[in-house]
Amino acid sequence: MQEHKIQNPIIPGFYPDPSICRVGEDYYICCSSFEAYPGLPIFHSKDLANWEQIGYAMTKENGFHVDVNSWAGGVMAPTIRYHKGTYYIINCNFADDGNFIITAKNPAGPWSEPHWLKDVPGIDASFFFDEDDKCYIIGTGDVVKRADGKMDRGIWAAEYDIENYKLIGEPVAIWDSALRNASSPEAPHLYHIGDYYYLMIAEGGTEHYHCVTVARSKDVLGWYEGNPANPVMTHRMLGFDAPIANVGHADFVETQYGDWYAVMLASRTIDGYYKNFGRETYICPVKWERNWPVFSPGTGMMEFEYPADEKLPWTPYDEEPERTDFDTKEECEGNYPLYMTAWGTPYRKYDRVADSHLYLKCIARGVTEPVRGFGYPKTKDGFVAMMGRRQRYVDFTMETKMTFVAKNQEAAGLIVMQASDHQYLLQKVQKDGRQLLQLVLHTSTLHGLPWLPGFGCEITSKVLEEVPYDEDTVILRMQAKGQDYTFSYGADEATMKSFPTHGDGRLLNPEEVGPMAGTLLAMFATGNGVESENEAAFDYFEVKKG
């Protein structure tokens, strides 16, 4: 009998901050999506090893707003829970009005419009339903008073009226962190297990020093004592060349048979400490000893592979197709495969599917504009004409067949990006009356932090290659071998030519970009500042391994 394996990451690609809940024999994960549209993807599994996306929690239909900006703003760190027939998600939208709760009877949707939480400050808020049906909100902030009277970062909790969406009583500080004055105590999750309430948080920031720590108390609103073994999961001691990095931000789940697991984010590295995938979803087994959790028993590290739980029914799903041909009835009605994503809430329609082609309009918004920082006013033009999917493989080939005649400053083609201003564009443009193919690199320098005053952004753009190309239709191909990118073009497969200049994937992932968001592989069209009715037609879009 073949032994089944859990393969990490269980959800590959830019799907960070996983939160998990079990309802009967079914498991559901919700992940952050930042500025991608639709928002908050939902996944389902029967065996904790095989996962299938079943929908999104946030769309235009329930009031989802997110702007194109840094690619790392928007919605992050959701918590999903189930209580008495209703699914709940609490989350923060940095592009809208902050913390909110949405509800659904079916995790695949539809989900309610946001209930905005004006009395819930801070980031990474979560909630907890106790056995007596009381609900509690757990959040972050400067809530722990020091001996000198100043306030340190920590975790607070308060009882919550889930029916009327308001706090009951004053929030109280319940813990600070395992490490004294730890950086970024966040991502709190609360559980009632046996005689104790357990608080699990992330510390150290979501990059190299990220970790999972646990504390416990017999009083839900009491001060929590830290686990002497903290941190219970981290890879920061493995150095900067570890194949799995940034491990943290965990959530527990108990199977129907009483076994325990934890899902969390981590990053695969490529050719050294470069995290082009961003942060992905991982899982490890958990064992309880002396009323404390032991993560990944035997090694204490996140492994790429674990034996699957034999008590759970092995339930594989079909692999996501590598190629999209834009020929289904659903696509013609504007319903794309769930693995496809756009950037920014599309308040106006820029796309259509007809004649087995995806048409993208050359709207004014360009794909490269300076990052504005957080806290800017909401707009209804903060979206680009783009459609793509997340990078999931170290080695991959992205390809499309595009028909497009550029006018004025318009451009269309393929883009690979990890931040709004860290991109390679393989595009068709018009210059001096000629149609050209260009390979363009955009990088940026950030001055300060996007959420602090005085922030600024400078973009550097360089045309690496440029050749005349008078045909209307062109095959565009980008191939990655680790961090080595090659770009090619041709009228058909028999006439493909490669640009001599190679791209360096490390330029998409400099230290200042970090792993917050992952790499998007996409088709795009733009008027680069001028609205146009001209369209680029894409016959297919393919991203295949190798």
Q: Which residues are catalytic?
A: 17, 186
Q: Specify the residue for token string 């079914």.
A: 26
Q: How far is CA 388 from CA 54, 340, 483, 535, in A?
A: 18, 5, 20, 17
Q: How far apart are CA 404 and CA 492, in angstroms?
A: 15
Cβ atoms of residues 156 and 143 within 8 Å: yes
Cβ atoms of residues 455 and 445 within 8 Å: no
What are all long-range contacts of 145-151, with beta carbons under 8 Å and residues at least 24 apart? 145/173
Burial class for 73, CB neighbours closer than 10 Å (0-12, 13-18, 19+): buried
Cβ atoms of residues 487 and 503 within 8 Å: yes
Q: Is 450 left (phi over 0), alpha (psi -120 to 50) or beta?
A: alpha
Q: How far is CA 274 from CA 13, 263, 303, 418, 509, in A?
A: 14, 22, 19, 12, 6
Query: What angle (nearest 5°) sits at the alpha carbon of residue 168, between those of residues 162 and 169?
Result: 160
> Among 97, 115, 85, which Cα is nearest to 23's?
85
Q: Which run of H or of E encompasses 349?
A: none
| Count of Cβ atoms closer than 10 Å to residue 121 Cβ | 16
Q: How far apart are CA 440 and CA 337, in angstroms?
A: 29
What tokens does 280 get?
Answer: 């992905």
Q: Which run of H or of E encompasses 332?
A: helix 329-332
- DSSP 8-class letter at 320: P
